[in-house]
Amino acid sequence: MKPEDEIQAVREGFAKGGYICDKQIATSIFLSRKLGKPILVEGPPGVGKTELAKATAEYLGQELIRLQCYEGVDEAKALYEWKYGKQLLYTQVLKEKLGDLMEGTVGLKQSMDRLHEFDDTFFSTEFLEPRPLLKALWSEKGAVLLIDEIDKSDDEFEAFLLELLSDYQISVPELGTIKAKSTPIVFLTSNNSREIGDALKRRCLHLYIPFPDSKLENDIIKARVPDVEEGLRKQLVAFVQGLRTLELKKHPSVSETIDWARTLVLLHAETLDAELVRDTLNVLLKFQDDIENVDGEINALTTQAQKASA
């Protein structure tokens, strides 16, 4: 199949699952699979970065494994932990059996050697609690690994990820090297709260998802809020698009447009008017400042939006 056809197939597959995207986004899925490279997805909050990973998992029929990053996330939370509880329990059991076990050993040295044989047991995968990254490596059928909001983690963790993402393997001191059973598709998302390091960027494909244009946003609303009438849908999308041209602390994102559309449907609205907008504006704008600041523009924006459906 030609690349453009494969890309189109991705788009159509996504659309079936309710994720509506442009060619740029579909291309990154195509490329990532062919080149075996992770995708770093950047863009403002709520434009569907996380959703993209979910949609990909669904489209490919693979498991979605998600690692939500936060300040201080570390290897133990991301890769694996030893099951101390289980280890402890086994030690208790072992203690009781100690007499039996040591039977026949002569002197401390021999006893120790005998004990050491159990090391391997304690530090075997039996006692390993896999966290998202290891789960992804272990996945038999291949998985979609979502490392969400990487910008919230620290540089150190980023450096650690770099090793993992360079050849999809990781070395665990007690176990040696663990290699991916089948290369996962990896998404890293960032809301740009900090710059992602160059090294990591070099290793990844880079996808920037901006706010959608009105055509795309209309399609998204159509897919996500099928109950909303076409006329109202065009108006509300036009209104949101208008809001995004204003100077605001936080622009409404796709997620807010969806919420707003749902709200308007609940209110049985058929068309947009200034009063309706004022009553529901807090669904779109999260800062009181913003709500107050746009108040003067609402009439104009609403009139403009009304024209969009005409």
Name the site residues for Mg ion (rule: CB under 5 A).
Answer: 49-50
Q: Coil, helix or strand for 172?
A: strand
Sites for ligand ADP among residues 46-75 (CB under 6 A): 46-51
What one-character-per-residue DSSP string does 48-104 give?
SHHHHHHHHHHHHT-EEEEEE--TT--HHHHTEEE-HHHHHHHHHHHHHHHHHHHTT
Cβ neighbours of residue 59 under 8 Å, at least 6 residues apart?
10, 13, 14, 17
Binding residues among 230-269 for ligand ADP as defined by CB under 6 A: 254-255, 258
| Contacts of 293 by beta carbon, 8 Å cutoff, 6+ apart | 246, 248
| CB of 166 or CB of 303, closer to other proteins | 166
What's the one-letter identity of residue 225?
V
Could you tell me which stretch among 79-87, 152-160, 209-217, 230-238 binds other proteins (CB under 8 A)? 209-217
Where do we find the tokens 């996808």?
207
| Phi, psi values for residue 86, rounded to 5° | -65, -40
In one-letter notation, the amino acid at residue 261 is A
Question: Which of the listed partners (Mg ion, ligand ADP, other proteins, none) does 291 bind, with a CB threshold of 5 to 8 Å by partner kind?
Answer: none
Residue window 20-49: x/- pattern of binding to ligand ADP, with contact defined by CB under 6 A: xx-----------------------xxxxx
Regarding 49 and contact with other proteins (CB under 8 A), the answer is: no
Which helix (H) or strand (E) segment holds residue 207: the answer is strand 205-208
Applying CB under 8 A, among 141, 215, 249, 307 the residue interacting with other proteins is 215
Q: Which is nearer to other proteins, 139 or 189 (CB)?
A: 189
List the single partner that 24 binds among ligand ADP, Mg ion, other proteins, none, CB under 5 to 8 Å by kind.
Answer: other proteins
Give the number of residues in contact with ligand ADP, rule: CB under 6 A: 18
Among the listed residues 70, 84, 208, 287, the single contact to other proteins using CB under 8 A: 208
Three-state SS across 23-55? HHHHHHHHHHHHHCCCEEEECCCCCCHHHHHHH
Q: What binding mask, one character per residue, do residues 98-127 give for ligand ADP by CB under 6 A, x or -?
A: ------------------------------
Contacts of 190 (CB under 8 A, 6+ apart): 40, 41, 42, 149, 150, 151, 196
Q: In the complex with ligand ADP, which residue's Cβ is closer, 182 or 282?
A: 282
Residue ranges in contact with other proteins by CB under 8 A = 2-4, 7-8, 11, 15, 20, 22-24, 27-28, 31, 34-35, 37, 39-40, 42, 198, 201-208, 212-213, 215-216, 219
Residue ranges in contact with ligand ADP by CB under 6 A = 18-21, 45-51, 189, 220, 223-224, 254-255, 258
